[in-house]
Amino acid sequence: MNADLALARAVDDLRRGLAIRVTDGDAALHVLAAELAQPETLAALEVEARADLLLTPERAATLHITNQRAAAGARAVFVTRMPWHDLVASIATADPADDLAVPFKGPFPTRAPGRHGRAGEAALALLKRAALLPAAFVVADCAPAPDMLVADAAAALAWRRAPRLRVVSRARLPLAGAEDCQVVAFRPDDGGPEHLALVIGAIGDVPLVRLHSACLTGDVLGSLKCDCGFQLRAAVAAIAAEGGILLYLQQEGRGIGLMNKLRAYALQDQGFDTVDANLRLGFEAEERDFDLASAMLCALGVARIRLLTNNPAKTDAMEAQGIAIAERVPLVLPANPHNAAYLATKRKRQGHQL
């Protein structure tokens, strides 16, 4: 089985609540997604030893354990579960939904990652790829089950760094306000979600380009909590006026997935801003992979663009992948009472030039 196929199947097993094995040389971890664990699946994992709880440093910081020597600087934090740390308490540790309602019942003793550090980091990367909470029950160096999928840690950590895409379809797609439009559908070779390019009008040598991350709540349902739907429609109109490309990237919620984005919304209802909500969930503030966009542009034969964005991180990402930015074109829209705080957070904490 090639590496991409093994990783894709490992992600699928994690999403179905099955345990996988992540290896790094002679070090190995058996990994079970915390949010999907059941009494019987946890018991099967713990045949040889009691499972640790694997967390990201972002979630560990919320638990106030990153100042401990064993966890400091680690990209994977191993919490040694105490006798009272049963399935319910462990899932509550991983899931911040009730952090305010149910105070933490620490302490949370940690162990140094040691030779399992890279396997733990890879396990968290696979959980993120599966759009699950990045937290897991893990047991180190136990005998593998015959049907357990094995994922290589180095391959998992490199998975997002070299996207390989191929065009699977092109078709005319007249849009409201942009009737001269062609849709180009891309499929990654690694089994990830498909992405779209909307080629509008005559694109010229230096087209106007927008990188738009999918937002079902804003783009489709008309949510007022964000500016995504408004930006999508404004971008289509701006590109239609002069010709260009809109890249529609399936990276919901800044790359954390729809279910986790809705979890973040629930945390925002508790008073946390969009950045702190993501961190409490165990994610980084930004999880999107803009290398996908540069790969799509290269496939379309585009090497120099005018980038329609307020986000300097997109400009930096495109330039780092060899796409020349002739100009950054702002896309600033008025706030409403429901997204004003969200826009302020993007400006103050994420550097958006609004």
Query: pLDDT tens digits, residue range 274-288?
Result: 899 999 999 998 899
Kindly state whether residue 35 falls inside one of the protein's structural domains. Answer: yes
Residue 3 has pLDDT above 80, yes or no: no
Same domain, 133 and 177: no
Q: Which domain holds residue 81?
A: 3-158
Predicted TM-score (pTM) above 0.85: yes
Total count of domains within the chain? 2
Nearest of 191, 197, 220 to residue 210 by alpha carbon: 197
Q: Give residue-wise pLDDT tens across range 127-136.
A: 999 999 999 9
| Per-residue confidence (pLDDT) for residue 67, from 0 to 100 | 57
Residue 351 has pLDDT above 80, yes or no: no
Helix (H, G, I), strand (E, B) or coil at 64: coil
Which CATH number does the domain housing residue 16 bear? 3.90.870.10
Helix (H, G, I), strand (E, B) or coil at 139: strand
| Per-residue confidence (pLDDT) for residue 251, from 0 to 100 | 93
Q: Residue 59: enclosing H or E segment and its boundaries? A: helix 57-62
Residue 175 has pLDDT above 70, yes or no: yes
Strands 324-329 and 304-308: parallel
When mean pLDDT is compared across 113-122, 159-168, 189-198, the lowest value belongs to 159-168
Q: Report, as an integer, the average pLDDT of 259-272.
A: 93
| Per-residue confidence (pLDDT) for residue 234, from 0 to 100 | 95
Same domain, 121 and 211: no
Kindly state whether residue 277 falls inside one of the protein's structural domains. Answer: no
